[in-house]
Amino acid sequence: MTESDAPTQTIRSTGTANKGHAAAVGASRVGHLQYSPRRRWFALLALALGGFGIGVTEFVSMGLLPNIAQDLLPTLYASNSADANATAGHLISAYALGVVVGAPTIAAAAARWPRKRLLTVLVACFVIGNLATAVLPSFGWVLAARFVSGLPHGAYFGIASLVAATLMGPGKRARGVAFVLSGLTIANVIGVPIGTYLGQNFGWRSAFWLVTVIFAATLVAIIATVPLQAGNPESTIRNELRAFSRPQIWLTLAMASIGFGGMFAVYSYIAPVVTDVTGLGSEVVPLVLVTFGVGMTLGNFIGGWAADKSVSRALLIFMPGIGLACLAFGLTASSAPGLFISIFFIGAFTSAASPTIQARLMDVAHDSQSIAAALNHSALNLGNSLGAFVGGVVIAAGFGYIAPAWVGIGLSIIGVSILLISLGIDRRAGRRG
């Protein structure tokens, strides 16, 4: 059976009037039944490997900002290292903006594509974008390469999450999403510290050579293991973009992007916090990143489990938790124990909220599932861009490297307020129903 054949056979077998839904469900069943359980787990691991590569490319620059600033902005770094680090933070914002632009655009335009084919194209784009980051000579060109590298991010996670949810089977949707996201969280335990070590000792570009190799391996793994799944043959760009007509979509996106901005405001400048605030050596930075990654990994699986129980209850726990963790960071990061403990909880609460927000978006998007699955990552990376930018502004204004923690608390409070408004609308609609 080919990818294009799968939806046609499914539509004939169901006899339902909703052909698009029938095709998606039928194609999902093809993916679920075609392989043995062992083969399906290999497919899930291949998808998680892509998440691992994304985690490394997204977060490794945060631990290497001083190295990047010194290499690409040598004059500014020599005169004012804080300004140079803040300017280098624009690379983080550029990647995040690439995600924001690419996720809904690609997801809507390619919703009809067979999912395996789309995944392979997206991973090939990752290979090209990160290779360009590793070889381009100037700050401006690297800035452009980071934007391009971010374009496939959201669409990859969105489509991979849909495939993983199918492979996991009924009642395990959020856990399927969490499995794909586990690659990203494990990257913060293993990949990002290794990339940071390489970048500190062999030049920051070596970290992006590592990322290029990871994505090349992911491309091979997806081709070899991921089952054939059709897209929705009835989907159109107009139908997918109809999700934006729903107020709950906008409220969820605002809650996620602003609330997550607090974490990124802190984490984007973690390297200078370690050296200039806590007073530890640069060799400790990878250990702090490992701690953050362990928190993310634990939080991700807790979040997937909690979201399958109750999405709203999980959000009411995890979103305020981000702000509380930022508060703890601001109060205790000057000491080594405070730094390690608070960064662990920032990672844990943020990562726990991620699959929960994914499930929330899929709930409120109704039939626009492809774009809903991708929009989560647009929201998170809008938060990445917002947090890195505002954090850089307060640092450049002379408030010090701990100031982004106070920014993070404010953003978290706004995010939780939007969450309460969204859930209040749900309750009123339920009473009217």
The model's pLDDT over 226-254, given as tens digits with 9 standing for 90+, comes to: 877 665 566 666 666 676 778 888 898 89
Domain that holds residue 287: 21-432
Q: How many domains does the chain divide into?
A: 1
The band of 325, judged by pLDDT with boundaries at 50, 70 and 90, is: very high
In this predicted structure, the answer to whether residue 12 has a pLDDT above a threshold of 70 is: no
Q: In this structure, are residues 191 and 52 in contact, taking their beta carbons and an 8 Å threshold? A: yes
Of 24-38, 193-207, 356-370, which gets the smallest average pLDDT? 24-38
Sole residue written with tokens 């500190």: 200
Range in 27-41, 213-227, 402-416 with the lowest mean pLDDT: 27-41
Domain membership of residue 42 (yes or no) is yes
Place of tokens 């399958």: 308
* Mean per-residue pLDDT, 389-407: 88
Instruction: Provide mean pLDDT across the span 104-123.
Output: 83
In a domain, 36, yes or no: yes
Backbone conformation region of residue 169, classed left if phi is above 0, alpha if psi is from -120 to 50, else beta? left
Give the residue-averaged pLDDT of 108-115: 76
| Distance of alpha carbon 339 from alpha carbon 280, whole angstroms | 11
| Whole-angstrom distance, CA of residue 380 vs CA of residue 54 | 13
Can you read off the two tokens belonging to residue 184? 């990203």
pLDDT average, residue stretch 84-95: 84
Q: What is the pLDDT of residues 260-316, one digit of tens each?
A: 888 888 888 888 899 999 988 888 888 888 898 889 888 988 887 888 788 889 999
pLDDT (tens digit per residue) in 176-191: 677 777 887 788 788 8
Higher model confidence: residue 325 or residue 243?
325
Q: What is the pLDDT of residues 124-169, one digit of tens each?
A: 999 999 999 999 989 999 999 999 999 998 888 878 877 887 777 6
Question: Would the pLDDT of 2 be above 60?
Answer: no
Q: Smallest Cα–Cα separation from 339: which of 404, 292, 407, 299? A: 292
**In this predicted structure, which of 214-228, 235-249, 350-364 has the lowest mean pLDDT?**
235-249
Range with the largest mean pLDDT of 53-62, 394-403, 411-420: 411-420
Confirm if 412 and 262 have CB atoms less than 8 A apart. yes
pLDDT at 53 over 80: yes
Contact 405, 329 (CB under 8 A): yes
What is the CATH classification number for the domain harbouring 406?
1.20.1250.20
Could you give the dihedral angle defined by the CA atoms of residues 132, 287, 274 and 325, in that order, rounded to the nearest 10 degrees? Answer: 100
Per-residue pLDDT band for 22 (boundaries 50, 70, 90) equals very low
398 pLDDT higher than 80:
yes
Is 3 a member of any domain?
no
Segment of 28-37, 42-51, 336-345 carrying the highest mean pLDDT: 336-345
pTM above threshold 0.75: no
- At residue 413 the predicted structure's pLDDT band, cuts being 50, 70 and 90, is very high
What pLDDT is attached to residue 8? 33
Looking at every residue in the chain, the average pLDDT score rounds to: 81
Query: Does any domain span residue 11?
Result: no
pLDDT of 324 above 90: yes
- Which of the four pLDDT bands, split at 50, 70 and 90, describes residue 16? very low
| pLDDT of res. 119 | 92
* Mean pLDDT calculated for residue range 25-37: 48
Residue 8 lies in a domain: no
Q: Is residue 339 part of a domain?
A: yes
Q: Is residue 15 part of a domain?
A: no
Q: Is residue 294 part of a domain?
A: yes
Largest interatomic CA distance in the chain: 71
